[in-house]
Amino acid sequence: MVEFLRLDRDLLHAATAASGPLGGSDLDRAAVRKWVQGLGQGEKDDLISRLIVEPDMTSVQELHLRFRKEHVSAPVQDAVERRSVATLLRMAKADTAERRRAEAAAAAREKAAREQEAAITREAHLDQRVGQESRLWAEAEALAATRQPKKYHQAVQILVDLRDMGFRSKL
């Protein structure tokens, strides 16, 4: 539903971070019945009419909220901090920044792992070519002499291998 409504996940997270429990399942049927009995007859008639006429759940939610406000103990109500839109936006911005930092750190770790794996593969490739330097030089010259782009590219790859092998031998 979050995707369908295109809600900002970080804003939603900020809004729910300090919210109280959803409730609903902890309601005592006897307490609700007693509360309804205490309502005036005209108010009951109005509420029942609204429930029948309005097919959405807004009226039910309003009744539920009204009951909870009148029957939830003060410490529980005080525990839920009221936040302004500006506060929620600041919290969402901070969450977004933290999430992006975490994503960047994860991407950097993945990139480092890929680079390390590529370096290991490259070293293994160069190890296989050790001792074949003169054959590789001759092969590179022959490929370059064909003057075909594909063959020229292969010659360059061989020359790069020879260069890297030379750097390794100097270390």
Q: Identify whether 71 is part of a domain.
A: yes
List the structure tokens of 13: 């997270």
Residues 64-92: pLDDT tens digits? Answer: 888 888 876 544 444 556 778 888 888 88
Pair 85, 138 in one domain: no
Q: What is the DSSP string of the chain?
A: -TTTTT--HHHHHHHHHT-----STT--HHHHHHHHHHS-HHHHHHHHHHHHH--SSHHHHHHHHHHHHHHS-HHHHHHS----HHHHHHHHHHHHHHHHHHHHHHHHHHHHHHHHHHHHHHHHHHHHHTT-HHHHHHHHHHHHHT--HHHHHHHHHHHHHHHHHHHHHH-
Pair 84, 152 in one domain: no
Q: Identify whether 122 is part of a domain.
A: no
Q: Identify whether 29 is part of a domain.
A: yes
Question: Mean pLDDT over residues 111-121, rounded?
Answer: 96
Pair 36, 85 in one domain: yes
Residues 33-74: pLDDT tens digits? Answer: 888 888 889 888 888 888 888 777 777 788 888 888 887 654
The CA-CA-CA angle for residues 37, 43, 45, to 5°, reads 90
The whole-model pTM stands at 0.49
Q: How far apart are CA 61 and CA 68, in angstroms?
A: 10
Pair 27, 97 in one domain: yes
Pair 142, 67 in one domain: no
Q: Identify whether 121 is part of a domain.
A: no
Pair 90, 30 in one domain: yes
Domain range for 149 is 130-170
Pair 90, 21 in one domain: yes
Q: Identify whether 113 is part of a domain.
A: no
Q: Identify whether 151 is part of a domain.
A: yes
Give the number of C-alpha atoms closer than 13 A to the C-alpha of residue 72, restricted to the C-beta side: 19
Pair 29, 88 in one domain: yes
- Report whether 47 contacts 39 (CB < 8 A): yes
Q: How many domains is the chain built from? A: 2
Q: Identify whether 111 is part of a domain.
A: no
Confidence of residue 121 (pLDDT cuts 50, 70, 90): very high
Q: What is the percent of the chain with per-residue pLDDT over 70, rounded to a whole number? A: 88
Pair 93, 139 in one domain: no
Domain end call among 83, 101, 119:
101
Q: Identify whether 72 is part of a domain.
A: yes
